[in-house]
Chain A
Amino acid sequence: MRSHLSANLWLLALTLLLGAVLYPLALLAVGQTFFRHQAEGSMINSAGQPVTTASEAVGSRLIAQPFTADQYFQPRPSAVSFNATASGASNWGANNYLLRDRVARQLGPIVKYQSGAKQGQLAAPDIEAWFQKDRFRGQPGIVGQWANAHAGVAQNWVKADPLNSEYVAAWQKSHPDDVKQWIKENPDNTDPKPLDLAVAFFNSYSRTGPGTFPGVVEHKSADGKTTKSIEPVKDGTDIQGMFFDMWRQDHADVALQDVPADMVMSCGSGLDPHITLANARYQLDRVAGTWATKLHRDPAAVRLEIEKLLRDKTAAPLRGLVGVDLVNVLEVNLAMKNQFAPAGEAKGS
């Protein structure tokens, strides 16, 4: 027994020394000596050059960062809002409506007609007009039908903003009859919270405010402060996105342009630094147009220059053997910024 114990302790100590100290130290030495840039996280500065300290860097070429302005290519959707200290994915399966809902919301404002009189135009204005008429599959009350079909999505709306749940709570106080009816239908719960009442609320709202949705509206007062309140909204990207799937069902025969999948499907880590070249091309009109307006230049010329940049920055996995052409969003945006708005001029853009 004693020999067992002694051998055991020796083995524990030796493997700790080897596996937890010497092995990582050896790699640390190699990494910090020969591959300093990679070992510190592949950071680059605003000129696109590799740096090893975070204070000089504008990003890591391996980690996606958000771009929202129209003159930049935008990365893939991130389930963790590009939080590089808590990577993760949506983990939604195909049978989960939240997945389809998220995709539809992104599509609504950007989808274009593929053919017909409106070829190449956005479908968004038509979605708004359809929404304002307030009929889905021949029945009145789009918002009510939407909440009935997707109770979870309706509840997520209540959770999304404290303003929303306050609004429902106020509705709960002023509509005792609706609440009573709800309790009658759900006898297990005699003290419903705003979250429970989401579907009932939207049904009631749909009856009183046809063609509108309770949206958050910002007001600027004279002293520059912004206040938010809930008001009936009948257009905007929220309407275009939230009700796109329903509009699509009412317009199933209309041909729409396909959007590249990586533009709407979120990645595994929430930090995928790449988009496909097809995705970049899809965004090219918007990006080139915005730069052209900013620089007062010919859009076609700007577009050509950006296309050349994209070509230079394109690479495919294992030289194209196993995948399609990709571009690194941060690198191409930096290159674009340096070409069109060299340091100093870019302020505020």
Chain B
Amino acid sequence: MWILPAIILIGTVVLAVPLGLYMAWVFEGRYRLPTVLRWIENRVDTGPQNWKQYCWAFMLLNLGTFIVGYLVLALQPWLPLNPDQKGMLAPSMIFHTVISFMTNTNQQHYSGEVHLSYFSQLFFICWKQVLSPVIGLAALVAIIRGLRGDKDMGNFYLDMWRGVAYFFVPLCLIVGVLLIAGGSPMTLHGKAQLATVEPGAMGSDDSGAAKLQEIARGPVAAIVAVKQFGTNGGGYFGANSAHPFENPNDWTNLLTCIGIILVPVATLVMFGKMLSNFRHAAVIFGVMLVLSVATIIWAVQWDTNQPNPALVARSEVAYAQDLPQAGGAAKPVWMVARAGQSADIAARDPAKQGADQPATTVYAGLPVDQSLGNLEGKELRFGTSAGATWAALTTNTSNGSVNCMHDSLTPLAGITPLVGMWLNCIWGGVGVGLINLLIYLIIGVFLAGLMVGRTPEYLGKKVEAHEMKLASLAMLAHPLLILIPTGLFVASSWALSTQNNPAAHGFTEILYEFTSASANNGSGYEGLADTVGAAADDNDAKLPQRAWDIACGLVMLCGRFIPIIAPIAIAGSLMAKKHTPFTVGTLRTDTATFGFVLLGTILLVGALLFLPAAVLGPVAEHLGPIPFGGG
């Protein structure tokens, strides 16, 4: 039960230390190159940049990847490597997918094996998933250079090339080979068609002949390696890492689960190395570890240690309510939540003070042995607590791959992925996770500074009004991008017609989708019917799905760029400031005390912003009658 998460966390830390030191070595440019590679570097190196130039370069490259990505997807029917003849995609779905993969979100409204050719999988999905984590990493490296007071922020293009060529692709090559050895396919042959053991088990066609089983495959291992280790999460198949070809066995599950958090943890080591301040990095690591362990324990406790509540015995509940009437007055009633059917409403006389409460019965459970916890939407081969552990880690980071279906998590376990994405800084995305944490850090420093009555400082630089404005902007963008569109969709028919589950759970599906988009996570309560599909299937009946594509696309754009550019601007502004000497009165950022301040800041801000939404969704579902509706 608890062994698997322990192995994953310990394994990650052991691997992250050498990897982080290596990353620092690469980004500091301490290597010596053969002539050919040096010639390539000279092509992309445009010289030292200040923060504005760095941002420009950053935006320009994103625009470039947007254009190339759009062309690859929009020309799919005419491009090669398409053995299963995948056709044209719906325009809104192309828009959504291109933004999704540009922003490291990798939210998927398409389904890989259904909609994409091998060319699109390689030249779009694979390529974008190589680039987007390194883009985040480059932004972080620039911020570190700013924080430590370098003369310039380095060169964005050079950082990108270093990250892709010397760090990320070599790492993925090693992982890819291990995945193939474990059973992930790596082929350019089209789907396999084979006769099943039991003739006709897949049914028979019109002429009465037994149907063959068709098995989608392709260059899977290459994509799984980049999606897992680059906090991408955009899987090859619709079922993502629950699919036996993406995640063939217990060992690949361990490897790819470590992969979710390996690079984010390694970036902390790199952060400490580049700042020459390992104690400060260790404090941040401690805070993240506490939050991460808490989310894992919560998910495993509520999902693996508890049965699925749909099948167990439950008491019916009678609530005293005041039902609004057309005239404006309220009518006192008893609402009896009958498990498994619609609620009964009975008259209530307030004068009797509850004496007229209707009788309720116990709803008998179904005879199912649920000693392994909630198995709906889980695969067996990874281990008992693997689904809940993965659900926590994939949302601690901005990975968003899944090896169990989050929609079918028990109601309370569903809080873990939501909290991970709301805070968005427990490990976080490659590069951007630490950037998000720096925002909390600056706010924490500011709060602590106010409490002791001194001008707050961070790493020897004064934090003043300008920085605080930028930090607040970055901090507030996230909740606004989640809560406003959620409210809008809940009030419209777009959301209602696409829900897969009733009542509070349906609300959570909507909340989750926007949370995932804004956090650039990409996981989903996948029941949500957000797929337009092929262009041939696109018609006006798909209006809600188009609305999902466009709304999520816009949220992902803002959710990516505001929280990256604002911190680069903060670093640029701190870079220009004079270093204040370290005195007894300086707030130290490398102590356990500061760790608690940081933890408190994160929890306080997070709770203030998102508690109401959590209560309306998963908490209401847990407390409400189960099963409630939908049939």
Contacts and interface: CB of A to CB of B under 8 A. Distances in A.
Contact of A249 (B165, B217, B364): B364
A15 B127 contact: yes
Contact of B180 (A31, A46, A86, A90): A31
Interface stretch (A36-44, A124-132, A217-225): A36-44
A154 B181 CA distance: 48
B627 to A, nearest CB: 4
A23 B196 CA distance: 35
Contacts of B182: 38
Contact of B126 (A19, A318, A330): A19
B60 A4 contact: yes
Contacts of B244: 60, 62-63, 269, 271-273
Interface stretch (A144-152, A183-191, A293-301, A304-312): A144-152
B184 A84 contact: no
Contact of B40 (A14, A55, A57, A323): A14
A95 B45 contact: no
A184 B7 CA distance: 63
A84 B182 CA distance: 19
Contacts of A160: none
Nearest to A87: B239
Interface stretch (A168-176, A201-209, A230-238, A250-258): A250-258
B415 to A, nearest CB: 13
Given A27-B177, A65-B202, A265-B375, A60 B165 contact: no
A97 B186 contact: no
Interface in B206-236: 213-217, 219, 221-222, 225-226
Contacts of B60: 4-5, 8
Contacts of B198: 66-69, 72
Contact of B213 (A16, A59, A76): A59
Nearest to B53: A4
A103 B202 contact: no
Contacts of B226: 19
Contact of B505 (A42, A83, A96): A96
Contacts of A3: 46-47
B215 A84 contact: yes
Given A92-B408, A150-B341, A278 B369 contact: yes
A152 B631 contact: yes
A115 interface: no
Contacts of A278: 369
B384 A323 contact: yes
Contacts of B407: 89, 91-93
A7 interface: yes
B100 interface: no
A85 B215 contact: yes
A43 B191 CA distance: 12
Nearest to A64: B244
A95 B364 contact: no
Nearest to A56: B194
Contact of B201 (A67, A101, A156): A67
Interface string A29-54: 01110110011111100100000001
A100 interface: yes
A117 interface: no
Contacts of A23: 126, 130, 169, 172-173, 176, 222
A86 B505 CA distance: 25
Contact of B186 (A28, A91, A98, A104): A28
B68 A16 contact: yes
B393 interface: no
Contact of A27 (B219, B250, B386): B219
A32 B46 CA distance: 40
Contacts of A142: none
Given A65-B202, A93-B408, A150-B631, A257 B367 contact: yes
B194 A57 contact: yes
A323 B304 CA distance: 11
B221 A27 contact: yes
Given A65-B202, A66-B198, A94-B626, A248 B366 contact: yes
Contacts of B342: 149, 151
Nearest to B404: A268
A83 B213 CA distance: 8
A290 to B, nearest CB: 13
Contacts of A153: 631
A321 B411 contact: no
B449 to A, nearest CB: 39
B589 interface: no
Interface string A274-301: 1110100000000000000000000000
A200 interface: no
Given A58-B195, A326-B380, A100 B627 contact: yes
Contacts of A90: 376-377, 405, 408, 527
Contacts of A62: 183, 244-245, 248
Contacts of A101: 631
B378 A268 contact: yes
Contacts, number: 446
Interface string A1-29: 00111111111101110111101101110
B503 A317 contact: no
A131 B222 CA distance: 56
Contacts of B222: 23-24, 27-28
Interface string B392-417: 00000000001111011011000000
Interface in B25-59: 40, 43-47, 56-57
B503 A95 contact: yes
Contacts of A15: 127, 130-131, 160-161, 164
B29 to A, nearest CB: 16
A243 interface: no
A89 B624 CA distance: 24
Interface string A96-112: 11111101100100010
Contacts of B172: 23
Given A58-B196, A258-B368, A268 B239 contact: yes
A163 to B, nearest CB: 18
A252 B380 contact: no
B117 to A, nearest CB: 13
A276 B184 CA distance: 23
Interface string B536-579: 00000000000000000000000000000000000000000000
B186 A32 contact: yes
A143 interface: no
B192 to A, nearest CB: 4
B381 A91 contact: no
B408 A91 contact: yes
Contact of B366 (A40, A148, A245): A245
Given A20-B127, A148-B341, A318 B383 contact: yes
Nearest to A6: B43
Contacts of A42: 183, 185, 248
A97 B502 CA distance: 9
25 contacts: A7-B46, A15-B127, A19-B127, A28-B188, A38-B183, A41-B215, A54-B192, A91-B408, A95-B503, A95-B630, A96-B310, A96-B630, A99-B308, A99-B376, A99-B408, A103-B368, A256-B367, A267-B378, A270-B239, A317-B250, A317-B386, A318-B7, A318-B250, A318-B383, A326-B381
Interface of A: 3-12, 14-16, 18-21, 23-24, 26-28, 30-32, 34-35, 38-43, 46, 54-55, 57-60, 62-63, 65-69, 72, 76, 82-101, 103-104, 107, 111, 148-153, 156, 245, 248-249, 251-252, 256-262, 264-276, 278, 317-318, 321-324, 326, 330, 333-334, 337
Given A27-B176, A41-B185, A99-B308, 7 more contacts: A82-B202, A90-B527, A91-B527, A96-B502, A97-B340, A317-B253, A318-B250
The 5 closest A-B pairs by CB, nearest first: A91-B527, A268-B242, A322-B383, A31-B186, A149-B341
